[in-house]
Amino acid sequence: MEEWEIPTSLGPTEAKENTSSPIVNRSCENLECYMVLTEAEKTAIGSICFLGGPITLLENALVLGVIAATATLRQRPSYLFIASLALADVFASCFFTTSFLDFHLFRRSDGPTAYLFKLGGVTMAFTSSVGSLLLTALDRYLCIHQACSYKVMLTRRRALLSLLILWSATIFISFLPLMGWRCPTVLSPPCSSLFPYINQGYLACWTSFILVLLALILWAYALILWKAHRHVSSMTNLQGAAGTGQARMRMDIRLARMFGLILLILVGCWLPALSFMLVDVSVVLTHTQQRAFAFCSTLCLVNSAVNPLLYALRCRELRVALLQLLQRLCETGRCKQTTDDLTSQLPSKEDNNCTAFTENNEMPRTLRSISEMVNDEKKNFRE
């Protein structure tokens, strides 16, 4: 039986075959068979984690702090979803960075319980992150598709209830291996080439679940773009102005670029790692493929670092609240620098606008005009 253990003496040809050929009959007495990174790869991945982990933590902690310190933002369902996303990414920056470095760089071999507990924390963080992205996409879809009844449909209580369901389901799914759904053969042979003690059935179910969430996010943003395009076209036909055609083109291009960037980063960061997981269910991976998966998994951390820039700091209200918070901190510390009065720029609690949709207020004005256009059409039909 061919072992996963790396022989003590290998020639150049044998070493090349060991890293590029699949291993069918496997046995692994300890976790050394999963620690396949070379010294150069450890340096590269360690640099990514040591740099990306603190940056991700600081960005998302800043977003959480601003939302928690601003009463107006805490009342808005859109910002509750953004806060949930930031919290999940804070967990991802902590759990993934420490677990990944501890395992691949410092080569710490934990027992089944300790390893599955750490892996459950990482799984919970990333699953909650993708789930919060889906809630944010659905919130934006309702904002543009049900502009008239948006505030009635999506109240703060319903938003909190959806977040409670999301996090409860995420915690339950993530710690299923710790509760017993693990590899029946343990490590002789291991069930998965990527994760020790993980059952292939669980890996297939979790990967499929994440792919379904990503597909729903893509579907929601596609509907948003289509609805916005139809609305702008309707406004052009009603106004009949000469310059509205160019304005509509600029609006469509701007929305397409924004949503294209969001979806490109989302798919580009998640699809490589998920592809390796799907392949691992049916095919035995080589050491080269294991090392490639280690690099692809760091892209999920990169996605958590980019999320605050795409979903939180693009919102004008959150940026204004951040400046106001900094102003209060300066005043508390007796800072002599003065800033403009930003209190009047904050949205009120009765604001019905979905201003977390874009960077400025141009899109929310477009969303509000949907209800006005529908009401006008109803009046014309009655007359």
The pLDDT assigned to 29 comes to 65
| Segment 231-278, tens digit of pLDDT | 666 666 655 554 455 555 555 567 677 788 888 899 999 999 999 999
Neighbour count for residue 248 (Cβ, 10 Å):
16
Contacts of 25-30 spanning 24+ positions with Cβ under 8 A: 25/1, 25/189, 26/2, 26/189, 26/190, 26/284, 27/1, 27/3, 27/187, 27/188, 27/189, 28/4, 28/187, 28/188, 28/189, 28/190, 28/196, 29/5, 29/187, 29/188, 30/109, 30/187
pLDDT tens-place string over residues 115-162: 999 999 999 999 999 999 999 999 988 888 877 888 888 889 999 999
Distance CA 227, CA 234 (A): 11
Set out the domains of the chain in order of their start, with CATH numbers. 32-233+257-328 (1.20.1070.10)
Can you give the pTM of this predicted structure? 0.77
SS percent in the chain: helix, strand, coil, step 5? 75, 0, 25
Name residues of the chain where pLDDT drops below 50: 1-27, 242-243, 336, 339, 342, 349-371, 374, 377-378, 380-381, 383
Give me the pLDDT at residue 252, please: 58
Long-range contacts, stretch 289-293, CB < 8 angstroms, 24+ apart: 289/193, 290/34, 290/36, 290/193, 290/194, 291/36, 291/37, 291/38, 291/41, 293/194
Q: What's the CA angle centered on 298, arms 188 and 54, to 5 degrees?
A: 120
